[in-house]
Amino acid sequence: MFIDNVTIHIKAGDGGNGCVAFHREKYVAEGGPSGGDGGNGGNIVFKIDEGTNTLLDFRYRRKFVAQNGGDGMPEKFHGKTADDLVIMVPPGTVIKDAETGKVIKDMSNCEPFVCLKGGRGGWGNRHFATPTRQIPRFAKPGIKGEEKDVILELKMLADVGLVGFPNVGKSSLLSVISSARPKIANYHFTTIQPQLGVVSTGEGKGFVCADIPGLIEGAADGLGLGHDFLRHVDRCRLLVHVVDVSGAEGRDPVDDIKKINSELERYSPELASRPQIFAANKTDALGADPEEIHELCDERLEALEDYVKNELHSELFYISAVTKKGVDALVRRVAELLAELPPMTIYEPEQPESEPVYDDGNDHEITIRNVNGEYEVEGEWLLNLINSVNFDDHESVNYFQRILRSSGVVDALVEKGCTDGDTVRIYDIEFEFIK
C-alpha cells in the first residue's frame, strides 16, 4: 500500500521538576538547600530514511511523544535529560503545520531536523537561597514540551516525470530505461502508485525518473488516481509526456496532450510551465521502426508533429518501449536537457523553527474575567508559578506575591476594577485581594 499524506500529533518531552531538599550530614551544621535541577525533556527529531518511499509506517501510529526529563534529586543531583524521539521519514517528505498549512521543513538531502524542542528542567531550591532567604522551601517545575499536529506530505525526489493517459506505456518505458520493475498489463490503471527508477547515462552519471499513474481528464478534481499523485511531479525538472500513436484504443494523440496539460495547468500553473518533451510510443504497432515513421504518411502523426513542434515548440521522439527502438535517443536528450536546467526544487520553510517557551519573566500574558463579582485569572505561565510555590511556607508565599506584582498581574486586576476585599481565583488558588 502506498501512503503519501498523513497527519500526526507530536509532543516534545516536559522538563523535570526541580527538587526541594536540604543537606543533612553529621557534624555539618546548617547544610543549606541542596535540591538539584530537573533534566530537559526530549526533542522531536525528524531524520531521513533512505530505504523507504512511502509513509506506510504512519498508517496506524499517529501520535509521537518524547520522554520527559527526570526530576531533580537531593544533594544537587541533576535529573536525567531525556533522549530525543527520532521519527524516520522517506526522502522528499515535506513537514507542514496542520493548522496553518505552512511548510516547516523539507526533508530532502538534509541533516536531522529538530522540529520541537523539549521543555527545560526546573531549578532546584538551591538556586533560590539568598542572605535573607536561607531556607527556600520551593523550586521551579519543569517547562512543558511543545506539541502540535503536523502534516507529512511525500513529494518524490525525481528529476523526470513520465506523464500521460493510462495504458500509453509509461511503465514499460520505465522498465526499459531503468532497473525498476513496475507491474505491466494491457488495461487501465495497472500502475496504482508512483514508481521510481534510476536511469544510468554512463560514467557514474544518471537521473531519477518517476512513473506518475492515473492521469485522466478531471484528475485535478480528484478523478482517477491523478489527484493523489500529481504532487509527485512537483519537484520534477523535466516532464516526458508519453502518448500512444498506435490507434489501438481510438485515441487522438493531440487531444490527449491537450487534456493532460489542462489538468496540469489546473493543478499548478507553475508545474504546467515546466519543460516538456514528447515520446510517441507504440510505433511497433504501426509496423514501422521509429526512424521509418515518416514514410507512413499518417495524418494523425503529421498533426501530432505539427502541434508539438509548431504550437508547443517542443521536441517529439518516436519510440517503441517493446522493441526499445528510439529509447536511447530519448534518454540522451533527457540527460542533455537536465544538465541545462536548474536544480531540483527544495521548499523553503514558511515559518520560523520552533523555539521553546521558557518562563523568563517577560511576556506574561494573562486573561482576567469578572464572574459574578469574582475575578478569575488565567495564563499558562501562572500554572508553572503555582506549581513552584509551597503555600504552607511563609517565604514561598511572599515569593508568589512578589511575582504577581512584578509581572503586572496586580495592576491588571486594578484596571479591571478589582478592589480590596474582592475574591481572586488563579486556577485552584483563591485569595482575598489586597492592593
Is residue 234 domain-resident?
yes
Query: Does the structure show a pLDDT above 70 at 283?
Result: yes
Is residue 172 domain-resident?
yes
% residues pLDDT > 70 (the chain):
86
- Give yes or no: residues 208 and 323 share one domain: yes
- Give yes or no: residues 306 and 216 share one domain: yes
- Give yes or no: residues 110 and 222 share one domain: no
pLDDT tens figures, 207-258? 888 887 756 655 445 544 455 666 667 788 899 999 988 877 778 889 989 9
Cα angle for residues 48, 274, 305 (degrees, 5° grid): 135
Phi, psi (degrees; rounded to nearest 5) at 322 = -75, -50
Report which listed range, 21-30, 60-69, 281-290, is most confident: 60-69
Laid out side by side, the sheet with 205-211 consists of 195-202, 205-211, 160-163, 238-244, 276-281, 316-318
pLDDT of residue 228: 60
Is residue 355 domain-resident?
no
User: How sure is the predictor about 360, in pLDDT bands with cuts at 50, 70 and 90?
Assistant: very low
Of 108-112, 294-298, 390-394, which gets the smallest average pLDDT? 294-298
Query: Does the structure show a pLDDT above 60 at 426?
Result: yes
pLDDT of residue 36: 92
- Give yes or no: residues 223 and 85 share one domain: no
CATH code of the domain covering residue 143:
2.70.210.12
Average pLDDT over residues 410-416: 89
What pTM did the predictor assign?
0.70
pLDDT tens figures, 17-44? 989 888 888 887 778 899 999 999 999 9
Q: How many domains does the chain have?
A: 3
CA distance 11 to 166: 42
- Give yes or no: residues 98 and 179 share one domain: no
CA distance 270 to 252: 26
Range of the domain at 266: 160-340
- Give yes or no: residues 28 and 105 share one domain: yes
User: How sure is the predictor about 81, in pLDDT bands with cuts at 50, 70 and 90?
Assistant: very high
- Give yes or no: residues 120 and 240 share one domain: no
Q: Which of 188, 194, 193 is nearest to 169 (CA)?
A: 188
Residue 276 β-bridge partners: 239
CA distance 407 to 399: 12
- Give yes or no: residues 385 and 290 share one domain: no
Is residue 349 domain-resident?
no
pLDDT of residue 272: 81
